[in-house]
Amino acid sequence: MIIITIIERETIMIEAILTYEFLQNAFLSGIIIGVIAPLLGAFIVVRRLSLIADALSHVALSGIAAGLFLGQAVPALSAINPLYFGMLFSVGGSLLIERLRSVYKHYQELAIPIIMSGGIGVGVIFISLADGFTTDLFSYLFGSVSAVSRGDLLAIIVISILVIVTIFLLYKELFILSFDEEYAKASGIPAKAVHFAFIILTALVIAVSMRIVGVLLVSALMTLPVAAAMRITKGFTQTIWLSVFFGEVSVLAGLVSAFYLDLAPGGTIVVTSILILLAVIVWKKERD
């Protein structure tokens, strides 16, 4: 009886995905984000820049709020997807972080809370101007299965291609830069240019991931799968592959849970990631 119920539910979900475009957009976007977020997250964690995802997600929220406000204030701009404003702000925030890191050479970690605070402050202002939390803004905060449009999916596909191509072409440089920045500079690697390319891609991935995971939870998808993978792998390449696997499991399980329980997918995806991390920690402890 239980097996029949499960099969019926799976059949209903598959039929719904084949029928409704918004579900197709959500699941395709989730599958892609489940790859590129942990892929970049592996480098972010190794470089001890985990908090940068939080900072840029708050800056991206400011861009989203600005886009919603401008859409209300200037009717001609209402046709522009607020996601693009979020991407613009996120990239700008990443560049400002790098600028501040060069200003505070001996206290580079200050750049992240400075930009995060600025992002929150600007976001609150635009949210107030846009008459508070709208349904659209709420979906960006926590993710939404129904809010992902074809335009969002297209943006995610383009950015995912950029990420995969960049990682493929600059893997050696990013690997050396992540583990030994001084050696990277001494060996002739254009460390500054590589780092700028990486940080901009990170900003773009954070911005486009908001539709599925949400602003407040996007950093978790970039770090939790990596944290789980690092507990049981012995090399960086293995960590990347296992991080992507854990990321995909988290996204798909989270989206399915959100579909059946009518919940925000960001929460279900992150809770799944946490459960995977706890399971790995317990399993590793039992083996040791």
Question: CA-to-CA distance for 210 and 205, rounded, in angstroms?
Answer: 9
Amino acid type, 19: T
Nearest Cα residue to 39 out of 183, 198, 194: 198
Beta-carbon neighbour count of residue 104 at 10 Å? Answer: 12
Nearest Cα residue to 30 out of 210, 201, 161: 210
Indicate the average pLDDT of the chain.
Answer: 82
Alpha-carbon dihedral angle through residues 218, 81, 164, 169, given to the nearest 10 degrees: -120
Nearest Cα residue to 203 out of 235, 253, 162: 162
Q: Token pair of 250, please?
A: 């988290």
Cα angle 125, 81, 215 (rounded to 5 degrees) comes to 55
Residue predicted with more confidence, 221 or 15: 221
Question: CA-to-CA distance for 242 and 255, rounded, in angstroms?
Answer: 20
Beta-carbon neighbour count of residue 14 at 10 Å? Answer: 10
> Chain centroid to CA 126: how far?
22
Give the per-residue pLDDT at 191. 78
> Could you report the per-residue pLDDT of 38-48, keeping only the tens digit for each?
999 999 888 88
Q: Token pair of 104, please?
A: 């505070």
Give the per-residue pLDDT at 288. 67
Given a cut of 90, whether residue 243 has pLDDT beyond it is yes
What does CATH list as the number for 2-287?
Answer: 1.10.3470.10
Confidence of residue 248 (pLDDT cuts 50, 70, 90): very high
> Could you report the per-residue pLDDT of 47-84, keeping only the tens digit for each?
888 788 888 888 888 888 888 888 877 777 777 888 88
> Chain centroid to CA 122: how far?
21
The domain locations on the chain are: 2-287
